[in-house]
């Protein structure tokens, strides 16, 4: 069964992409030419453009929601124009400026209408998409820069502030990536899987909606709109090719995709590119895979529930899984990956061409493949770092062509000074962390440590949030202050399922002042927020009772660590320095002994001279 999944709506922040599993097709969201643009004209003659479906120019006095709330209403909900929070005495006959966020955009215009308002300026508060929704009152959606300017005008003009929302005109160029679409690199498999896989239209999509909204259709946006495009195309592909596997369909969609207008060199935004359905029907070649390949991948990841039995799986590096993209999250000097191509078109000869990632060389062997109908052949791709910076991704493309068809795959690699596990853990009071590394340089490998450090713990309890929607100042929230001292290079704030008193689903939100700096919202209470090189000072941590067991009170323990930049490896014995060469595998052993029960966190740093070229997080849960 071909499965398409949404990449998520947490962009443009890096590493927010969901659904990393390689057997899924993970879909980003791009814009399309149906976006409608209107002009907002203020009483001071300043003009701003935004997304709108407004058909009739609307003029009136202009007020901001934050100054238009009912007495006693939550300030944060008033700013966001929650239904029932606006005061009709302050809103009737006026255009209201509402902040985007937390609730549906059209619910904000409904709140304005219910309070007697005649129009709405919907303002982004940070970089995000602009959406021409079908609103309850004439509306224009402006970006964060325009939104700030509009609010500043109202503040200066006071009761004389006015605005005109113009009628729609024009169309936006397409396709471009939607700002809200979640980005890679995926943290799954250590960066050895590229996600999202591709992108499809996801902004202002006309779709059927619940009749509870008062209408049968609406314009909706999100990767929940782009993913159904790919699911539907996948169904049509299955109809055209009944014997094709889900992986073959995914490959055809990826290798026939084309670049978006603004993310041609950003595969973490667009994946392989924007879907081109007709081109996918006859792709020429496909990268196929099935259950046995995925079991081999899972065993390579140490996830072996399906790895044994009558036909034991063979562990493979995630980079060697036969996907229509190539990703290496830890390129230690040089690495060779293997792929197989199956001919689903006529017999012919395909030749490889490469746009190598900057700072690398790429060699494809063999450089030409001749296929009979239905034949499968293997090839290798050897990627060697030359001048690419350590720790930064660089991207390129591999294309196979027979002169008529082009089979294009994205390549992303992250050169590293040392290829090492991202984290290792232990569950005893003493023991030894043991693992292998590969060097990305020739020289002397030495070591440093931050921690191990015992966690600071705080007991707390939180009520259930019946709205299942986190809002600062809203229901179902308990607040903690965590102070991060000067010199901290890595901080972690965590909840653990084993340290709550039931089957609760709690979430974490971490703010520095009014700025959200990290959040974690899994399906249980296992939550973790990591802050690299955080600014010293007080942080506000919100524990959100997204769904407590039985709707009751959840009792929990909050854990936090602040690891410093310097100092000996407390409770650790560091390895001796050693000589290494590029690509060399070397075994690392780090003994530990902690003095008491608890959760400990540390970082082992790998050094080339004084420069830190890699790190592994160390965790000990001592009974």
Per-residue tokens: 83: 């239904």
Is residue 568 scored above 80 in pLDDT? Answer: no
Per-residue tokens: 224: 């929940």
Q: Which of 103-112, 264-273, 310-319 has the lowest mean pLDDT?
A: 310-319
Per-residue tokens: 422: 């991202």
Q: Which residues of 84-116 are buried (b: 16+ CB within 10 A; e: fewer)?
A: ebbbeebbeebbbbbbbbbbebbbbbbbbbebb
**Strands 430-439 and 585-593, bridge-based pairing:** antiparallel
Contact between 37 and 49 under an 8 Å Cβ cutoff? The reply is yes
| Percentage, residues of the chain above pLDDT 70 | 97
Average pLDDT over residues 473-501: 96
Q: Which of 278, 230, 275 shows the shortest CA–CA distance to 257?
A: 275
Tell me the Cα Rg of the chain: 27
Q: Label residue 482 exposed, middle or buried (CB < 10 Å: 0-12, 13-18, 19+).
A: middle
Beta carbons within 10 angstroms of residue 43's beta carbon: 16
Per-residue tokens: 179: 């700002």
Would you state the pLDDT for residue 566?
A: 61
What does the chain come to in residues? 623
Q: Tens digit of pLDDT for each residue in 358-373?
A: 999 999 999 999 999 9
Q: Which of 77, 78, 88 shows the shortest CA–CA distance to 114?
A: 88
Beta carbons within 10 angstroms of residue 53's beta carbon: 19
Q: Which of 116, 59, 60, 107 shows the shortest CA–CA distance to 87?
A: 116
Confidence category of residue 306, pLDDT binned at 50, 70, 90: low
Q: How many CA atoms lie within 13 A of 478 on its CB side?
A: 18
Contact between 601 and 459 under an 8 Å Cβ cutoff? The reply is no
CA gap 83, 110 in Å, rounded: 7
Confidence category of residue 32, pLDDT binned at 50, 70, 90: low
Q: List helix spans (H) across 357-503.
A: none
Q: Tens digit of pLDDT for each residue in 379-392?
A: 999 999 999 999 99
Confidence category of residue 35, pLDDT binned at 50, 70, 90: low
Beta carbons within 10 angstroms of residue 487's beta carbon: 12
Cα distances from 567 to residues 448, 452, 468, 529, 563, in angstroms, run: 8, 11, 43, 24, 10
Beta carbons within 10 angstroms of residue 392's beta carbon: 11
Cα distances from 243 to residues 208, 239, 314, in angstroms, run: 32, 9, 26
Q: Tens digit of pLDDT for each residue in 173-202?
A: 789 999 999 999 998 888 999 999 999 999
Would you state the pLDDT for residue 384?
A: 95
Contact between 181 and 7 under an 8 Å Cβ cutoff? The reply is yes
Is residue 307 scored above 80 in pLDDT? Answer: no
Question: Phi and psi dihedrals of 402, rounded to 5?
Answer: -105, 15
Q: Tens digit of pLDDT for each residue in 116-133?
A: 999 999 999 998 888 888
CA gap 447, 217 in Å, rounded: 61
Is residue 13 scored above 60 in pLDDT? Answer: yes
Can you state the percent helix, strand and coil of the chain, rounding each to 5?
A: 15, 40, 40
Would you state the pLDDT for residue 211?
A: 81
Three-state DSSP at 37 gives: strand
Is residue 215 scored above 80 in pLDDT? Answer: no
Q: Which residues of 532-571 are buried (b: 16+ CB within 10 A; e: fewer)?
A: eebeeeebbbbbbbbbbeeeeebebbbbbbbbeeeeebeb
Confidence category of residue 403, pLDDT binned at 50, 70, 90: very high
Three-state DSSP at 34 gives: coil
Can you list the positions of beta strands (E) in 440-475?
A: 443-454, 456-462
Average pLDDT over residues 512-533: 94
Confidence category of residue 308, pLDDT binned at 50, 70, 90: low
Would you state the pLDDT for residue 174?
A: 81
DSSP codes joined into one string, 103-135:
S-HHHHHHHHHHTT-SEEEEE-SSS--------
CA gap 569, 592 in Å, rounded: 9
Three-state DSSP at 418 gives: strand
Q: Which residue has the tokens 């409904």?
A: 110
Is residue 216 scored above 90 in pLDDT? Answer: no
Instruction: Please state, rounded to an integer, the average pLDDT across all residues of the chain.
Output: 93
CA gap 150, 155 in Å, rounded: 9
Q: List helix spans (H) across 241-266.
A: 246-255
Three-state DSSP at 318 gives: helix
Average pLDDT over residues 568-580: 87
Per-residue tokens: 29: 């969201």
Per-residue tokens: 390: 């350590």
Q: What is the pTM of this model?
A: 0.73
Q: Cα angle at 517 between 514 and 523, to 5 degrees?
A: 115
Is residue 33 scored above 70 in pLDDT? Answer: no
CA gap 178, 313 in Å, rounded: 40
Contact between 169 and 37 under an 8 Å Cβ cutoff? The reply is yes
Is residue 172 scored above 80 in pLDDT? Answer: no
**In sequence order, what are the beta bridge partners of 123?**
99, 142
Q: Tens digit of pLDDT for each residue in 56-101?
A: 899 999 999 999 999 999 999 999 999 999 999 999 999 999 999 9
**Helices 246-255 and 223-240, axial angle in degrees (round to 10):** 110
Confidence category of residue 218, pLDDT binned at 50, 70, 90: confident
Q: Which of 104, 85, 93, 151 shows the shortest CA–CA distance to 123?
A: 151
Q: Which residue has the tokens 């496909």?
A: 286
Cα distances from 531 to residues 16, 512, 618, in angstroms, run: 15, 11, 16
């Amino acid at each position: 069964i071909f499965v398409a999944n949404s990449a998520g709506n947490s962009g443009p922040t890096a590493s927010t992409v969901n659904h990393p599993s390689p057997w899924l097709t993970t879909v980003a969201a791009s814009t399309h030419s149906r976006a409608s643009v209107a002009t907002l004209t203020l009483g001071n003659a300043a003009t701003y453009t935004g997304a709108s479906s407004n058909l009739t120019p609307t003029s009136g006095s202009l007020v901001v929601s934050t100054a238009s709330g009912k007495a006693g209403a939550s300030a944060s909900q008033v700013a966001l124009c929650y239904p029932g929070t606006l005061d009709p005495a302050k809103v009737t006959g006026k255009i209201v400026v509402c902040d985007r966020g937390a609730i549906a955009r059209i619910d904000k215009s409904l709140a304005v209408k219910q309070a007697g308002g005649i129009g709405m300026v919907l303002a982004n508060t940070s970089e995000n998409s602009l959406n021409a929704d079908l609103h309850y009152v004439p509306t224009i959606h402006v970006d964060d820069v325009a939104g700030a300017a509009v609010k500043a005008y109202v503040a200066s003009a006071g009761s004389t502030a006015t605005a005109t929302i113009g009628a729609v005109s024009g169309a936006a160029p397409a396709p471009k990536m939607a700002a809200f679409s979640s980005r890679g690199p995926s943290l799954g498999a250590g960066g050895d899987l590229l996600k999202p896989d591709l992108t499809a239209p996801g902004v202002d999509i006309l779709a059927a909606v619940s009749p509870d909204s008062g209408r049968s259709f609406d314009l909706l946006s999100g990767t929940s709109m782009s993913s159904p495009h790919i699911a539907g195309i996948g169904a049509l592909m299955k109809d055209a090719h009944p014997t094709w596997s889900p992986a073959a369909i995914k490959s055809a969609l990826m290798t026939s995709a084309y670049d978006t207008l603004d993310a041609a060199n950003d595969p973490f935004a667009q994946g392989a590119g924007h879907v081109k359905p007709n081109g996918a029907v006859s792709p020429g070649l496909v990268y196929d895979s099935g259950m046995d390949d995925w079991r081999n991948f899972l065993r390579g990841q140490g996830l072996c529930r399906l790895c044994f039995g009558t036909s034991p799986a063979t562990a493979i590096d995630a980079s060697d899984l036969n996907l229509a993209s190539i990703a290496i999250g830890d390129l230690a000097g040089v690495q060779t990956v293997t792929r197989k191509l199956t001919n689903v078109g006529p017999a012919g000869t395909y030749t490889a061409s490469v746009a190598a990632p900057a700072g690398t060389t790429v060699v494809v062997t063999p450089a030409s493949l001749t296929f009979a109908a239905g034949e499968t052949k293997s090839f290798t791709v050897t990627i060697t770092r030359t001048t690419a910076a350590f720790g930064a991704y660089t991207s390129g493309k591999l294309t196979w062509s027979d002169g008529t068809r082009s089979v294009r795959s994205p390549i992303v690699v992250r050169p590293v000074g040392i290829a090492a596990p991202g984290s290792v853990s232990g569950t005893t009071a003493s023991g030894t962390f043991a693992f292998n590394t590969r060097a990305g340089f020739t020289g002397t490998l030495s070591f440093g440590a931050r921690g191990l450090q015992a966690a600071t713990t705080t007991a707390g309890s939180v009520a259930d949030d019946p709205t299942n929607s986190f809002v600062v100042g809203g229901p179902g929230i308990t607040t903690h202050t965590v102070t991060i001292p000067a010199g901290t290079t890595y901080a972690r704030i965590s909840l653990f399922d084993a340290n709550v008193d039931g089957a609760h689903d709690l979430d974490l939100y971490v703010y520095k002042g009014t700025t959200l700096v990290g959040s974690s919202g899994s399906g249980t209470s296992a939550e973790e927020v990591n802050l690299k090189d955080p600014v010293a000072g007080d942080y506000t941590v919100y524990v959100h009772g997204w769904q407590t067991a039985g709707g009751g009170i959840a009792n929990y323990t909050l854990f936090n660590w602040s690891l410093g930049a310097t100092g000996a490896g407390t409770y650790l014995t560091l390895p001796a320095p050693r000589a290494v060469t590029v690509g060399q595998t070397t075994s690392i052993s780090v003994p530990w002994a902690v003095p008491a029960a608890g959760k400990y966190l540390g970082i082992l740093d790998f050094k080339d001279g004084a420069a830190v070229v890699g790190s592994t997080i160390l965790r000990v849960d001592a009974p």
